[in-house]
Amino acid sequence: MVTALETLIEALKRLPGVGQKSAQRMAYHLLQHDRDGAARLSLALRAAAEQIGHCRRCHTFSETEICSICADVSRDPALLCVVESPADQAALERTNSYRGYYFVLLGRVSPLDGVGVAQIGAAELLLRAAETGVAEVILASSFTAEGEATAHVLSEALRSRGIRATRLARGVPVGSELEYVDLGTIAHALVDRR
């Protein structure tokens, strides 16, 4: 018979980067030192799972049919930024430097995992990008092999429909010393210089 403790540890292992030992430490901490925190965590997880869905327009997390960003008429309708996840969207929002709208793919192309353009919502993106007023689609996928493949496939599809597609710039991080930056980043910074 599986105990409640074992069930808790297995549930915690579902979190990214959490293995058996980390899950055990979290479970033991919550049960031994923070029962109130464990109860609050349980309630918060249940409420989030029941109340949070996806925005009908951009697919980010939302408790309403249309998220607050999509409902904000002060944003620039000419700009549509494509990201892989709601976490990526939140990171861009924290910069306070982008005032357009978003489209969240909820994934990225990964042929080895059986994820193609159909599974990441490319058809919906193309429909959204074709709406009147969208002048530029900014592809803000990650700079991993899968993120690059996603950006390439989407940019080709967008350009074939006459929609301007751009990619986030990449280069040397602000505040870094050149001698400590990896060679790939330096090479891309040289190629993408302005």
Which DSSP state fits 137?
Answer: E
pTM of the model: 0.84
List phi, psi (to 5°) of 122: -60, -40
Q: Which amino acid is present at 26?
A: M
- Of the chain, the percentage scoring pLDDT greater than 90 comes to 72
Q: What is the pLDDT of residues 66-104, one digit of tens each?
A: 999 999 999 999 999 999 999 999 999 999 999 999 999
Only one residue has tokens 């982008």, namely 98
Q: What is the pLDDT of residues 16-54, one digit of tens each?
A: 999 999 999 999 999 999 999 999 999 999 999 999 999
Q: What pLDDT does residue 134 have?
A: 94
| Spatial CB neighbours of 46, under 8 Å, sequence gap ≥ 6 | none
How far is it, in rounded angstroms, from Cα 134 to Cα 77?
A: 6
Q: Find the range with the poorest average confidence among 26-40, 142-156, 167-181.
A: 167-181
Please give the residue that has the higher pLDDT: either 136 or 181: 136
pLDDT confidence band for 163 (50 / 70 / 90): very high
Give Cα 175 distance to the centre of its chain.
25
Q: What pLDDT does residue 194 have?
A: 64
